[in-house]
DNA sequence: CTGAAAGCGCTAACAC
DNA sequence: GTGTTAGCGCTTTCAG
């Protein structure tokens, strides 16, 4: 920066000003400085800038998994808004492991991010303490809680299970099963579904849980095979914790020539891009993940701007989309 | 850090040492320092550390899209290895836009990353210049080139098209079509396929291109509809630029009661987790994306270690997996 | 509108 | 083993 200044015949400070507050520099010097920057290929050191200004323009984002479309689409919306506002994302995968999450939080906090994005509302006590102690704005997404660390944006997972059960009963189904991945929020959806279905019909729900945290089409096919061949489940509705499972059930049903939704009805979760185009089209729970990510970004930006009416709990809701599969 | 030192009865520097080179501090002082750190909740400022040591432990990673499983699974492998070695990832989406990529590279370079991960081997001249000028190790993935910026790890995209065409001809198909997304690498696969197929059979290949950069099941269904209803393509093989398209073709074929591969044969690309479990199982091109990401991380680590035998072009190859769909 | 001085919180080099 | 000194490359006062 000093070199650039020398070339432009000004001091280092003026170069700094030309970069951060161009309006505070005379048009003429500004031009000379810009020429010098171009000539040297100078790229300001943001690390030093962050240290001096106590503003890093860095956001720490922690998600369970990059490859799960649920989180990546959320991140897409989030990072887009953040980028437009001059922030950069440091990203890490927690893998549904809260100890690992805590370690990652500590590492990220060392970079002095201006904000933190967390997935879910359950974090280790140590993580909570560090986050609160840091005084950095934190937004928790994909779930809601009465007592967020700072603020949270999401929807009620049990609420989706409730809605699915009520829909299923109203649609006339009297037998039900669930297919659920090893994911705490998915389990809460399952439990709410089962409880409500039982309440309304008096019938127990057959619950099938998978050890994997990631739902795949393969396991969806296996689940229907299991349901039909071993559990004698031949008519009723299946509430899946993910559209991937639901797609697997539809695939297996097609392979077996089963009628959907006549013999087996299927409800997915997520409304992924393929859900409207499966055969038959999938009935599922829609959550606008991109918008959720954008809302999370908005919440952080509000906090940065010290907006007084920033809310701390935002329920973005969900929607049950009825298509052909149930 | 000075406060912690005071609590432990040592100077600030000793605290720094205890953190970075614990072996260079006596066990007794080390313990006292650790106690003080715990008591204060001190988290070292990595920004300041990076500035002083000229080592940021930050890696800039640029991918076209977070939501495309191709890139996210690559990132998963990459970030895992990097994390294990103490590096943190700054991630951005370029959206297949090379101007945007250049802007992002400049922003990232400002953070003085220790390494850069780029997707693809085609970058704007300005981007190349900045990257080379920075002297920072760069690894380009998902493609190979004779003249990488620094090093590249990937496979030959035309090679996959060639292999698919040869497989198709050998399997007896004499008519062929392609379904391709608006992606430069996908187009190179398509062109190689079409050229080779023509060379071997004398028959032209019907090419269907989609404007969207992201392949979806929906467009795959639409493609088959178009092929069958408007192009009179009723027997032959379709080489898709993504498993998503291929899955759409299979879905539409099932919906229409077409025989696969008897009437319509389908070859996908990617071998995504569902490919082995579609109905019928999908013939596709497999690339081990997780391993590719890990190899990219390894290449960067080698460069950090100034390993002399680090190679600059690594072809990880691909594999044509024959299942039921072709 | 521009510059001089001080310092952000750490590491590196050198003494002791 | 531990402390002292001098920066890393910026931004932030405060003068002029």
How sure is the predictor about A94, in pLDDT bands with cuts at 50, 70 and 90? very high
Instruction: Write the CA distances from B131 to A161, B134, B281, integer angstroms.
Output: 50, 5, 43
Residue A96 has pLDDT above 90, yes or no: no
Can you tell me the mean pLDDT for B27-34?
96
pLDDT at position B319, please? 98
pLDDT at position B224, please? 97
pLDDT at position B96, please? 87
What is the least distance, in Å, from the CA of B234 to any CA of chain A?
A: 21
Contact A76 B93 (CB under 8 A): yes
Select from A48, A88, A277 the Cβ nearest to the Cβ of B248.
A277
A170, exposed or middle or buried, with CB in 10 Å at 0-12, 13-18, 19+?
exposed
Residue A58 near residue A137 (C-beta atoms within 8 A): no
Per residue in A182-203, pLDDT (tens digit) is: 999 999 999 999 999 999 999 9
Count CB atoms within 10 A of the CB of residue A159.
Answer: 17
Can you tell me the mean pLDDT for A78-92?
98
Chain B (56-75) residues lying within 8 Å, Cβ to Cβ, of chain A: 56, 58, 65-67, 69, 72-73, 75
Contacts of B193 (CB under 8 A, 6+ apart): B161, B162, B164, B165, B176, B178, B205, B239
Contact A51 B48 (CB under 8 A): yes
Q: What is the CA B32 to C1' D1 distance in angstroms?
A: 15
Per residue in B190-207, pLDDT (tens digit) is: 999 999 999 999 999 999
Given this structure, which CATH class describes domain A157-286? alpha beta
Chain B (245-284) residues lying within 8 Å, Cβ to Cβ, of chain A: 247-248, 251-252, 254-255, 273-274, 276-279
How sure is the predictor about B33, in pLDDT bands with cuts at 50, 70 and 90? very high
CA distance B122 to A90: 25
Instruction: Output the average pLDDT for chain A.
Output: 96
Per residue in B111-122, pLDDT (tens digit) is: 999 999 999 999
| pTM for the model | 0.95
Select from A110, A133, A218 the Cβ nearest to the Cβ of B277.
A218
Per residue in A21-62, pLDDT (tens digit) is: 999 999 999 999 999 999 999 999 999 999 999 999 999 999
**Could you tell me the sign of the dihedral formed by the alpha carbons of A229, A232, A236, A241, in that order?**
negative
Contact A90 B92 (CB under 8 A): no
Contact B79 A90 (CB under 8 A): no
Q: What is the CA B135 to C1' D1 distance in angstroms?
A: 37
Residue B246 has pLDDT above 90, yes or no: yes
Give the mutation candidate from A277, A294, A325 for the B interface (greatest B CB count, under 10 A): A277
Two structure tokens written together for A157: 């997972």
Contact B51 A56 (CB under 8 A): no
Q: Is the CB of B16 under 7 A from strand D?
A: no
Report percent pLDDT > 70 for chain B. Answer: 100
Q: What is the CA B52 to C1' D7 distance in angstroms?
A: 8
Chain B (198-237) residues lying within 8 Å, Cβ to Cβ, of chain A: 216-218, 221
Q: Does B81 touch chain A (CB under 8 A)?
A: no
What is the distance between the terminal CA atoms of chain A, rounded to a whole angstrom? 65
What is the least distance, in Å, from the CA of A274 to any CA of chain B?
A: 6
Q: What is the CA A25 to C1' C1 distance in angstroms?
A: 6
pLDDT at position B101, please? 97
Contact A112 B218 (CB under 8 A): no
Closest protein residue to D8 (Cα–C1'): B52
Count CB atoms within 10 A of the CB of residue A188.
Answer: 18
pLDDT at position B212, please? 86
Q: Does A126 touch chain B (CB under 8 A)?
A: no
CB contacts of A271 in chain B (<8 Å) are: none
For residue A43, which nucleotide's C1' is closest to its Cα?
A: D9
B86: left (phi over 0), alpha (psi -120 to 50) or beta: left
For residue A50, which nucleotide's C1' is closest to its Cα?
A: D10
Contacts of B46 (CB under 8 A, 6+ apart): A110, A111, A112, B56, B57
Two structure tokens written together for B234: 């009723």
Chain D, protein-covered positions (CB within 7 A): 1-5, 7-13
CA distance B45 to B10: 19
* Same fold for the pair B55-155+289-316 and B157-286: yes
Contact B107 A91 (CB under 8 A): no
CB contacts of B134 in chain A (<8 Å) are: 43
Give the mutation candidate from A16, A43, A252 for the B interface (greatest B CB count, under 10 A): A43
Q: Is the CB of A86 under 7 A from strand D?
A: no
Contact A67 B65 (CB under 8 A): no
What is the least distance, in Å, from the CA of A245 to any CA of chain B?
A: 11
Count CB atoms within 10 A of the CB of residue B98.
Answer: 17
CB contacts of A110 in chain B (<8 Å) are: 43-46
Per residue in A1-14, pLDDT (tens digit) is: 999 999 999 999 99
pLDDT at position B138, please? 98
pLDDT at position A213, please? 81
B289, exposed or middle or buried, with CB in 10 Å at 0-12, 13-18, 19+?
buried
Closest protein residue to C3 (Cα–C1'): A11
Residue B76 has pLDDT above 90, yes or no: yes
Contact A46 B251 (CB under 8 A): no
Two structure tokens written together for A319: 């929607």
Q: What is the CA A175 to C1' C6 distance in angstroms?
A: 75
Contact B67 A66 (CB under 8 A): no
Select from A69, A110, A276 the Cβ nearest to the Cβ of B45.
A110
Domain B55-155+289-316 belongs to what topology?
A: Rossmann fold (3.40.50)
Q: What three-state secondary structure class fits B295?
A: helix
Per residue in A134-177, pLDDT (tens digit) is: 999 999 999 999 999 999 999 999 999 999 999 999 999 999 99
Nearest chain B residue to A257 by CA: give it: B254
CA distance A103 to A11: 43
Contact B66 A66 (CB under 8 A): yes
Instruction: Output the average pLDDT for chain B.
Output: 96
Residue B8 has pLDDT above 90, yes or no: yes
Per residue in A51-76, pLDDT (tens digit) is: 999 999 999 999 999 999 999 999 99
Domain boundaries, chain B: 2-44, 55-155+289-316, 157-286
- State the alpha helices, DSSP H only, in chain B: 2-8, 12-20, 27-40, 46-53, 69-84, 98-110, 125-134, 157-170, 184-201, 217-229, 243-256, 289-304
Two structure tokens written together for B116: 């850069």
Residue B213 has pLDDT above 90, yes or no: no
Residues comprising chain B, all counted: 326
CA distance A75 to A87: 13
Phi, psi of B117 (to 5 degrees): -110, 125
pLDDT at position A221, please? 97
Two structure tokens written together for A204: 């127990």
Instruction: Write the CA distances from A75 to A62, A91, B38, B187, B212, integer angstroms.
Output: 10, 9, 33, 28, 20
Q: Is the CB of B14 under 7 A from strand D?
A: yes
């Amino acid at each position: 920066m000093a070199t650039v200044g020398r070339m432009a015949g000004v001091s280092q400070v003026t170069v700094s000003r030309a970069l951060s507050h161009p309006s505070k520099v005379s048009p003429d010097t500004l031009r000379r400085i810009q020429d010098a920057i171009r000539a040297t290929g100078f790229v300001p050191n943001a690390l030093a800038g962050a240290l001096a200004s106590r503003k890093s323009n860095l956001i720490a984002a922690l998600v369970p998994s990059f490859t799960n479309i649920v989180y990546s689409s959320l991140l897409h919306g989030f990072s887009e808004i953040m980028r437009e506002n001059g922030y950069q994302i440091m990203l890490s995968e927690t893998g549904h492991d809260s100890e690992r999450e805590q370690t990652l939080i500590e590492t990220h906090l060392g970079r002095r991010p201006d904000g933190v994005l967390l997935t879910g509302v359950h974090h280790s006590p140590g993580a909570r303490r560090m986050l609160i102690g840091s005084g950095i704005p934190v937004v928790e997404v994909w779930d809601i809680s009465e007592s967020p660390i700072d603020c949270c944006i999401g929807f009620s997972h049990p609420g989706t299970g409730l809605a699915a059960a009520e829909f299923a009963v109203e649609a006339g189904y009297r037998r039900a099963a669930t297919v659920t991945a090893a994911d705490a929020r998915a389990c809460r959806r399952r439990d709410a579904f089962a409880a409500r279905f039982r309440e309304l019909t008096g019938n127990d729900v057959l619950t099938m849980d998978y050890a994997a945290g990631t739902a795949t089409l393969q396991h969806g096919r296996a689940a229907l095979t299991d349901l039909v061949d071993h559990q004698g489940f031949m008519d009723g509705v299946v509430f899946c914790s993910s559209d991937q499972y639901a797609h697997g059930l539809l695939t297996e049903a097609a392979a077996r020539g089963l009628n959907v939704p006549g013999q087996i009805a299927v409800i997915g979760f997520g409304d992924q891009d393929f859900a409207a185009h499966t055969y038959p089209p999938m009935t599922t729970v829609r959550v606008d993940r991109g918008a959720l990510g954008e809302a999370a970004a908005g919440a952080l930006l509000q906090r940065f701007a010290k907006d007084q009416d920033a809310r701390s709990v935002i329920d973005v809701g969900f929607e049950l989309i009825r298509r052909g599969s149930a």
